[in-house]
Structure 1
């Protein structure tokens, strides 16, 4: 009978972590925990060699694993990853930067999925959420400036209509100037966000 494939943990160690070996002696348990720690440490080095593991090999390796089980396993991997990061106090954005470097450093031949992998920093995630929700602090400021400016422009037009002589002086022209500046500022904010979030990504994708 062929040997079972080697995994990160042995079956006995899995039972130990699941609380299924309550009768084990303290000394034996301590040795087993030490062995588990050593296996975990050694296993971390395996991921470096799996970054550019061929897509076809992944498909063959996982063909017997159904989507439900794989989804659960991926979720558990993410939980473990986050716990380790938090325990060591590593910034999430530092992990993202390192992941991007890891993808850029390997040959993607046979691993087409590497080109579809995306990592987002905290700021980028916030911007994506704001774009999906159609709002952001800057858009709210732009909207407030536009409303404020339009109000002053309406006032200036009313003054110009009712009292043409008064509107030509410094006091009469103030509402028009204030309104124009506010509207211009609001439009500039909207324009800059459009360049940053629409034009620049489009140009990058084209290049």
Structure 2
């Protein structure tokens, strides 16, 4: 009987994940979760070797699976990579740019690479690779903060100039308008950052805590 090939996860690790690590001591659970994290990270890193893997070898590797199974695999793989992107707050444009640069560096005649539309494949079916709502909110909040700081600097400089060197009709309105605009943009930026954290960090954490306080506290402890 042929030996089953090595996979990203061992049979035991798949069973542990499926059972949510029930029946294990805290020490064994933390050990297994650490080992799984290491294998997952190392496994994803191996995809760098498969980018220009021969088409023929890909066909042979999956000829035992029907199209529906391959579709399921690809869908789940897309979910994993998208979650990883969101966890690291990486915008889709950045991922698309990395993929485009990687393809440009490859010297190969593989049919699938030649026919690949990176923007559509990596950008989630959007040729312009628009970032998601989460990315857009974070980006606009950061822009507002930067704008507020940039506008506030001239006001601070004018305020530091001795009053007798600048005509009062010029100095007063310039400083006032600069500080008002800087305060407004900084306020918008800070509100956006707060809303981003509330929507994507605090509320999901509260939801997980409501569903399973023990698991939520355990996850928070492991992050520490």
Which TM-score tier does this pair reach, normalised by the shorter chain? 0.5 to 0.7
Match of 2:54 in 1: 54
SS in 1 for 2:65: coil
In the alignment, the residues of structure 1 paired with residue 106 and residue 94 of structure 2 have an alpha-carbon distance, to the nearest angstrom, of 19
In the alignment, the residues of structure 1 paired with residue 71 and residue 127 of structure 2 have an alpha-carbon distance, to the nearest angstrom, of 27
* Shift in Å, 1:2: 3.8
* Shift in Å, 1:123: 6.6
* Shift in Å, 1:13: 0.7
In the alignment, the residues of structure 1 paired with residue 40 and residue 2 of structure 2 have an alpha-carbon distance, to the nearest angstrom, of 25
Match of 1:175 in 2: none
Q: Residues 123 and 66 of structure 1: is their aligned pair in 2 closer, same or farther, counting only changes over 3 Å?
A: closer
User: Stretches of 4+ moved more than 3 A in 1?
Assistant: none
* Shift in Å, 1:22: 2.0
Q: Residues 20 and 37 of structure 1: is their aligned pair in 2 closer, same or farther, counting only changes over 3 Å?
A: closer
Q: TM-score, normalised by structure 2?
A: 0.52
- 1:119 matched to 2:118? The reply is yes
* Shift in Å, 1:24: 2.2
Match of 1:73 in 2: 73
Q: TM-score, normalised by structure 1?
A: 0.56
Match of 2:98 in 1: 98
- Write the deviation string for residues 109-139 of structure 1: whole angstroms up to 9, x where unpaired: 3x2100111122567257xxxxxxxxxxxxx
SS in 1 for 2:118: coil
Match of 1:32 in 2: 32
Q: Residues 20 and 89 of structure 1: is their aligned pair in 2 closer, same or farther, counting only changes over 3 Å?
A: closer
Compare CA radii of gyration and give the structure with the larger one. Answer: 1
The answer for unaligned runs of 5 or more in structure 1 is: 127-207
SS in 2 for 1:78: helix
* Shift in Å, 1:20: 6.3
Match of 1:172 in 2: none
Q: Tell me if structure 1 keeps the 8 A contact 2:8–2:43.
A: yes
